[in-house]
Amino acid sequence: MKLNSLQQLIMDFIEKTDRPIFMTGKAGTGKTTFLRYIKANTTKNLAVVAPTAVAAINAGGVTINSFFQVPFGPLVPSTQTASLAELFDKKVGYEKTKLLKCLDLLIIDEISMVRADMIDYIDTVLRAVKGISKPFGGVQLLMIGDLYQLSPVFQKDWHVLRNYYTGPYFFDSLALRKTQLLTFELEEVYRQTDPVFVDILNSVRDGSGNEALLAKLNERHLENATAEELRDYVTLTTHNPLVKQINEQKLAALESEAYTYTATVTDDFPKEAYPAEEELILKVGALVMFIKNDASGKKRYHNGRTAKITALTEHSILLNFLDDGTELEAEREIWQNVKYAFSETDNKVTETNAGSFSQFPLRLAWAITIHKSQGLTFDNALIDVSAAFTHGQAYVALSRCRSLQGMVLLEKVKPANIITDKSVIGFMQAAKEKMPINTDLEQSIISSELGVLSSLYDFSIMILAWNTYKSILLERLSIDLTATEKLLHTEIGNIGTRFIQKELASQNESPWQSVSLKERLQKSSTYFLAKLELLEDMLIDLHQTYPAALMDDDYYLSVNLILEQLKGKTAMFRSLPSAIDTTTILERWKSAAIEYQAIDRWTSTTVTKEAEITNKALYDQLYAWRIKKGKERNTSDYNILSEQVLKDVAAKLPKTLKQFSQIKGVGEGKAFDFGDEILKMVRQYLGEGDLLF
């Protein structure tokens, strides 16, 4: 796929910044095609989610509900400590937590159907798991969809949600309002080429009510059209019972023999996600449509292309396309049920196939609901929007057609049938006035870099975690926590806030280009590392004095929350003096989160402070080398060698490749790859430094 200038700009914002992005466009502008390109070409750890099972399968992702384990009912927004702790452990789970910790980019397809409370729930989960107070825990959001199409279902829960939100749409999210959301609109329409038809669709889309264009549209109400003339037209209507009735009646009217084709389902593929009929019943003469693009790449058919069945056997389907009369023997297609998991070998988000669904990609096509027609393209359609009952329905139906000539209206379209939401129109008009351009990219890169540094000096999540731990301690013990409180709040939290205000808030250039700021960053790392080390001593002392008999799930959860925060901050500050960009710092945070060994009831209740590093000067040299090597190879530094391996090298001082390879976590492959450099540093150290035995 060759990108145009707008698509390239979007890719640059994805790759080089962490700004949340809303990518929209009229029907037929290639949003889904571009989504596939982004998935295949981004360097970020990503996951793709969608609001419904079928939309998720079509986007090559998973449902939002399954990925974030969303509870039923309205999701009341909350940032309280208790909810963070509960999400961290009980709702998200250990394996999913590890996956989310290394997530960089979350793509949400069909965003028009996603409610504001769902977006805020995602924000809460990601902040809790990532331990970063920035919206969405610093994860970049790419939201794709057309707000003028299908809207979210919210009416049943609105009596609760209206107390928190001004509207139900994703852009009403409280978390997104704290961000600078970028909106990009793809404008080149690939589905329709007639400029008059495009103008009609635009008028229906935004509800502008152009009378001349509406009159032109209503010329397609052909009162004298015969049943024979409309025989091969697909009927688009608002209600499912009518669709089912039309298809069943038409199929029953055919006198030919019925054949049933059963889908083949393997492993994990839930029924609600079936993208085609489990039992496909066909007869010769039946009107069908394809529901999937040709996976072979030969472009023999596309989503929505119609055909007529000409011959059937138990295992084969022969058909003729209505548009050009060509013949094709249909083949079964395979849909995969994607699952995301955390890979222990390379510390990345991996995409796996949990199950598959194989079926002929066909459905009866005498009628289809407007809702299910989203994403399809028809050459000939009989459209009824007289019973349209919600925002965007008329636009979705009309925009399925390639041309005005291929459309026939069952009833004339009245202004009342074109239902639009003023809040959507207002949001889109405001967004269009500030569409990003190339000159905005550089400032966004700087803003993202400063945002990462600000999150480093922001200890609010750590303080929330401490408050949870403190409340459990005070509830069960008579203990003086004044010194710990003073250290965390005054000497760490308040100083971090002042550093943000004084050094980062007014910065308008890249922090890595400012010599004075780099010096301040290095000095601050020394200060905070000392304070965090002292805090670790205090926390471990508290843990050791806590009665083992009282250590329940709430205790383990709270102590792990604060200790993991501490380990992450320590790793980031330790990387600061040698960091050349914010990627290094983020990778250290990610690495520390993944490598963190949680205290739980199955381990000794006596935890000792992390052992002093033997030969620390060598360890520091190895640490800096690992960061540099990760940059050279464009990979996370912990993919080079783990932190524990560095400690073992510094302690054991291997002198041969064999000795190096025998260190746990190295092996022959990494010994061959890095051995010469590691052994050289060890030899240099042995000639220059005093050993600490």
Q: Which class for 527: exposed (0-12), middle (13-18), buried (19 or more C-beta within 10 A)?
A: middle
Encoded tokens for 466: 């401490």
Phi, psi of 615 (to 5 degrees): 55, 60
Q: Which string of DSSP letters, residue by residue, matches 86-103?
A: HIIIIIT-HHHHHHHHT-
| Planar angle of CA 48, 582, 614, nearest 5 degrees | 110
Encoded tokens for 163: 């107390």
Q: Mind listing the pLDDT tens digit for each residue in 411-428?
A: 898 888 888 888 998 999
Q: Of 87, 142, 219, 131, which is closest to residue 464 (Cα–Cα)?
A: 131
Q: Please, what's the b/e burial string for 606-626 (b: 16 or more CB within 10 A of its CB; e: otherwise)?
A: eeeeeeebbbeebbbbbbebb
What pLDDT is recorded for position 191?
Answer: 64
What pLDDT is recorded for position 605?
Answer: 36
What pLDDT is recorded for position 80?
Answer: 44
- Asked if residue 187 lies in contact with residue 130, where contact means CB atoms within 8 angstroms, the answer is no
Residue 625 pLDDT > 80, yes or no? yes
- Asked if residue 103 lies in contact with residue 45, where contact means CB atoms within 8 angstroms, the answer is yes
Q: Mind listing the pLDDT tens digit for each residue in 523-582?
A: 999 999 999 999 999 998 888 888 877 787 778 878 888 898 899 899 999 998 888 888
Which is more confidently placed, 55 or 677?
677
Question: Please, which pLDDT band fits residue 638 given cuts at 50, 70 and 90?
Answer: low
Q: How far apart are CA 14 and CA 634, in angstroms?
A: 17
Q: Alpha carbon of 349 to those of 100, 146, 165, 303: distances in Å? A: 8, 28, 33, 30
Report which DSSP code applies to 413: P
Encoded tokens for 378: 């028809």
Q: Mind listing the pLDDT tens digit for each residue in 214-270?
A: 999 999 999 888 888 888 888 998 888 889 999 999 999 999 999 999 999 999 898
Q: Of 363, 406, 38, 428, which is closest to residue 202 (Cα–Cα)?
A: 428
Encoded tokens for 626: 């690992």
What pLDDT is recorded for position 58?
Answer: 77
Q: Which class for 660: exposed (0-12), middle (13-18), buried (19 or more C-beta within 10 A)?
A: buried
Lowest model confidence (mean pLDDT) among 261-270, 476-485, 663-672: 663-672
Q: What is the mean pLDDT of the chain?
A: 85
Range among 7-21, 138-152, 360-374, 611-625 rated most confident:
7-21
What pLDDT is recorded for position 1?
Answer: 76
Q: Mind listing the pLDDT tens digit for each residue in 584-614?
A: 888 888 888 778 887 765 343 334 344 568 8
What pLDDT is recorded for position 693?
Answer: 28
H or E element that contains 280: strand 279-283
Sheet holding 264-267, edge to edge: 264-267, 348-359, 333-343
Lowest model confidence (mean pLDDT) among 374-388, 432-446, 489-503: 374-388
HEC letters along 579-622: CCCHHHHHHHHHHHHHHCCCCCCCCCCCCCCCCCCCCHHHHHHH
pTM of the full predicted structure? 0.71
Q: Of 10, 11, 411, which is closest to residue 218 (Cα–Cα)?
A: 411
Q: How far apart are CA 377 and CA 360, in angstroms?
A: 18
Q: Mind listing the pLDDT tens digit for each residue in 283-316?
A: 999 999 998 878 787 888 887 788 999 999 999 9
Q: Mind listing the pLDDT tens digit for each residue in 316-362?
A: 999 999 888 899 999 999 998 888 776 666 666 777 888 999 999 99
Q: How far apart are CA 69 and CA 183, in angstroms?
A: 28
Mean pLDDT of 506-512: 88
